[in-house]
Amino acid sequence: MKQPVGLTEEELRDAFAYAIEKTRANIPTFSGGWYPAPASVGNVYPRIPNNEWTSGFWNGMLWLAYLQTKDEAFRTAAENTLADYRKRLDERIATNTHDLGFLYILSAKAQYLITGNEEAKDTVLLAADLLMERYHPKAGIIQAWGNLDDPAQRGRIIIDCLMNLPLLFWATEITEDQLYRLAALSHLDRTRETIIREDDTTFHTFYFDTKSGKPLRGTTHQGYSDGSCWARGQAWGIYGLALAYGYTGDPGCLTDAKRLANYFLDHLPEDGVCYWDLIFTQGSEERDSSAATIAVQGLHLLASHLDDDSDRQRYAHQADLILSSLVRGYTTRTVPESNGILLHAVYHKPNGIGVDECNIWGDYFYMEALGMKLHSAMTFW
């Protein structure tokens, strides 16, 4: 990576202000039970009900905008969704997923952290209970998708789940019930043993036999091939392991996060924004700016955990370079009709969904990255 250079404080403030104003402009569209779809269509997010794994990113954006501006419009818009999130749990609306962490950390948990609302806290804990229902004790893993008896999904984990484990770690902190933490620790260990490959790449998904607990095989779902390295999966891994270190203090998490980070950084094109799969380092395949934003946050958190000055500076510097590339070359400033923030993300290339579009988690992590650069406290994980 050569081209980008770091951002000035003025550029950071300007980029954050742009993202906040985009978020403000979207409030009328995404309120009253409506949320942005996971990916835009023609760079415009359609609106959908609260039935996807991604609704929480919209809440997270509202809360980041509120923290920055203290404008009640953002707070009210976010608070108005709590009943939706509670209903989703009560009525089990698309809750057969491990993504309860993404959903409830950035919505109800953020609300509780910022406002102290007890109903929000209870909602987070209910979500943690539901996530625990997905735990297969013999294998010691949390199943990613689908019903627990679905033969196509039974015993399948995915690397993305590292980002959902903070829901369980936090539930133990709040309730002092160790079961949440023990499940998270077991899932973390099984993921590190199976999903991380010897060459420091990662499988997207891995199957276990839930009766014997035996690890079976790694496959991809959104990557180029079973043996390639899906860029967003690697980025989820970097950030998820850095977060896990914060909750566990296990130095192995840092070692693994560094392995994944080094591979990621060694497979970037010149401007530092990864292709959708790290098998590509040049050419006309699409970039995944959303993976880049997640990596920025993972690299910064990893850097903050390190004692060694040179490693700390290297990861933080690389994260800054990627962020500067995103700010200068990937935003919707060039596409004024867009209601998104960050262009050129890929949701699911093999299925042709959200390819070269805005992705709502890309917008969220971009805001999180800008917020963290300006005020180190802007995180809900």
Structure tokens that stand for 143 in this block: 């199943």
Q: How many residues bind ligand GLY (CB under 6 A)?
A: 4
Site for ligand GLY in 222-281 (CB under 6 A): 222, 232
With b for 16 or more beta-carbon neighbours within 10 A and e for fewer, the 120-145 pattern comes to bbebbbbbbebbbebbbeebbbbbbb
The backbone region for 32, taken as left when phi is positive above 0, alpha when psi lies in -120 to 50, beta otherwise, is: left
Nearer to ligand GLY, 15 or 144 (CB): 144
Whether 202 contacts 264, CB under 8 Å: no
Considering the complex, what minimum distance in angstroms separates the CB of residue 181 from ligand GLY?
23
Residue 288 within binding range of ligand GLY, rule CB under 6 A: no
Which entry of 84, 160, 277, 363 is annotated as an active-site residue? Answer: 160
Q: Give the three-class secondary structure for 233.
A: helix
Dmax of the chain from CA atoms? 57
Alpha carbons 370 and 16: distance in angstroms, whole number: 6
Considering the complex, what minimum distance in angstroms separates the CB of residue 240 from ligand GLY?
11
> In angstroms, how far is CA 158 from the centroid of its own chain?
13
Alpha carbons 112 and 59: distance in angstroms, whole number: 13
72-79 helix and 55-69 helix, angle to the nearest 10 degrees: 150
Nearer to ligand GLY, 97 or 210 (CB): 97
Nearer to ligand GLY, 160 or 256 (CB): 160
Considering the complex, what minimum distance in angstroms separates the CB of residue 59 from ligand GLY?
17
Note if 277 is an active site residue: no
Site pattern 137..166 for ligand GLY (x: CB under 6 A): -----------------------x------
Whether 253 contacts 178, CB under 8 Å: no
Considering the complex, what minimum distance in angstroms separates the CB of residue 234 from ligand GLY?
11
With b for 16 or more beta-carbon neighbours within 10 A and e for fewer, the 307-344 pattern comes to eeeeeeebbbebbbbbbbbbbbbbbbeeeeebbbbbbb
Site for ligand GLY in 194-233 (CB under 6 A): 222, 232
Considering the complex, what minimum distance in angstroms separates the CB of residue 312 from ligand GLY?
27
Alpha carbons 318 and 299: distance in angstroms, whole number: 8
Structure tokens that stand for 340 in this block: 């998104």
Whether 332 contacts 356, CB under 8 Å: no
Closest residue to ligand GLY, Cβ-based? Answer: 160
Nearer to ligand GLY, 232 or 300 (CB): 232
Nearer to ligand GLY, 160 or 363 (CB): 160
Note if 99 is an active site residue: yes
Nearer to ligand GLY, 102 or 315 (CB): 102
Considering the complex, what minimum distance in angstroms separates the CB of residue 348 from ligand GLY?
7
User: Which residues of the chain form contacts with ligand GLY (CB under 6 A)?
Assistant: 160, 222, 232, 347
Q: Which residues are known catalytic residues?
A: 99, 160
